[in-house]
Chain A
Amino acid sequence: DETMKEAPAASPQDLSQYFKQFLFPQNECELHNFRLSFSQLQWDKWILAPHRYSPQYCKGDCPRVAGHRYGSPVHTMVQNIIYEKLDPSVPRPSCVPAEYSPLSVLTVEPDGSIVYKEYEDMIATRCTCR
């Protein structure tokens, strides 16, 4: 109630924005899209396929209680407690990939032979706080 008395009379639209910050903290840890083409790295001479590659990446703040939503282990909360109560030189948990998917690549080798290869862990598909 106190906040309501202090808060200026706001339109319903602002109110929903106002309350949203309590429901979903801003720039929370989540997966972000990133797409590159091998020609930008001038590698298209020897990487024949795929032409575009979306490795994705994880970015955002890890909430203090990073519960099941991130599939974070209990260790994450312990690390937070250490940072807050015991030793601030211990870093807070970071937003990192938890799962990946593979990528198939067709390349030309220096001897002119051609190789099709499937690489593990080339595209981030899920983030976690660790």
Chain B
Amino acid sequence: PHSRGGVASDKPSGFLGAPEDPTSDFNPLLWLPKGMRRGYALLPPLLKVLSERGQQNWGSDVPRLQPDSRALRYMKRLYKMSATKEGIPKDNRSHLYNTVRLFTPCSECQHHHGGLGKGDVHSVDLLFNLDRVTALEHLLKSVLLYSFDTSAPVSSPFSCTCHLSVKEHDSSGQVCPSVSHSVAFSLHLQVRKRKWVEIDVTSFLQPLIATHRRNIHMAVNVTCLVGDPQHSTELGQPVSMALLPPSLLLYLNDTSEQAYHRWDSLRHRRKNPGRPRQRTSPLGVPTGDKGMETPQAQRASRQRR
């Protein structure tokens, strides 16, 4: 198993209920080449089951924090859109990601300013821990995911502005906002419907995630007013609604050998519809001229065929 051009961290995954001493040579993780150890959710538990020969309690019950229920609902809906009931990825050209990670802010560090999400301004300090993102997962898109639950039906549309600023810790540990970013969006909430709103923050977070930042600390202000700027000049009264802290959604392209690369299989199917897929070289493309046929050679082999 080779990583494609990435440098995988050699830290064994904390995911597995592996024996206390991770350096013991019975730790199944050490059987794996370095590129495979971290972040591949499925592999370590599979190895644990195989290494615990004969034991019945196979459950790899690694202590797990319970995920947020709304986040669960959203990810199950994403799963239904991306795969069939049997779990086969849908051949959707527009969907280039092969990994989507949803992080909820760590609860102890959410600081609300002003009203608790009531009235027109909702501002909160958020800290996301991105430890689970591996070095081989490259960011395609990142969004803040708000779920708007309006208790009373809101008859007319309303428009919101979201202002973000990333908080850097300088050498003395003092927090100072370094980069800020504003996004405006308008919402048309039907009566009594939950609405997911994805606020695209890709350009904003790209530099942080590209440098494999493990913790992202940001302040988010959302202001919502009744009315829609496209259709009316003056905006009305503030909207009263419950606004819970957003989740961070990362659409990633996992470049490791274990992940599914649809463009690989699409290209393969176009070229050799009938032949079994040959594993492409770890670098993904033949290196140097020995791997590539010259046009003359291609023509000659075509004539031979």
Contacts and interface: CB of A to CB of B under 8 A. Distances in A.
A106 to B, nearest CB: 5
Interface of A: 41-43, 45-46, 48-50, 52-54, 71, 98-99, 101-121, 123, 126, 128
Interface stretch (B68-76, B166-174, B180-188, B189-197): B68-76
B254 interface: yes
Contacts, number: 134
Given A48-B72, A126-B276, A111 B132 contact: yes
A111 B261 contact: no
Interface stretch (B24-32, B98-106, B111-119, B283-291): B98-106
A121 B45 CA distance: 17
Contacts of A110: 14-15, 62-65
A112 B67 contact: yes
Contact of A113 (B58, B102, B259, B277): B102
A107 to B, nearest CB: 4
B99 A117 contact: yes
Contacts of A120: 257-261
19 contacts: A41-B58, A42-B57, A46-B62, A48-B75, A50-B85, A52-B86, A99-B277, A104-B87, A105-B42, A106-B76, A109-B15, A112-B66, A112-B68, A113-B102, A113-B103, A115-B102, A117-B40, A118-B83, A118-B259
Top 6 nearest A-B pairs by Cβ distance?
A112-B65, A42-B59, A50-B87, A104-B83, A102-B260, A118-B260
Contacts of B265: 102
B72 to A, nearest CB: 7
Contacts of B75: 48, 106, 114, 116
What DSSP secondary structure best describes chain B's contact surface? loop
B284 to A, nearest CB: 13
A112 B83 contact: no
Nearest to B72: A114
B132 A102 contact: no
B64 A43 contact: no
A22 to B, nearest CB: 28
A71 B275 contact: yes
B82 interface: yes
A3 to B, nearest CB: 39
A110 B66 CA distance: 9
B215 interface: no
B88 interface: yes
Contacts of B42: 105, 107, 117, 119
A71 B261 CA distance: 24
Nearest to B87: A50
B41 A115 contact: yes
B21 interface: no
Nearest to B103: A113
A98 B88 CA distance: 18
A49 to B, nearest CB: 5
A94 B60 CA distance: 32
Contacts of B261: 120
B82 A116 contact: yes
A27 to B, nearest CB: 23
Contacts of A116: 75, 78-79, 82, 99-101
B49 interface: yes
Contacts of B131: 111
Given A110-B64, A120-B261, A50 B41 contact: no
B59 A45 contact: yes
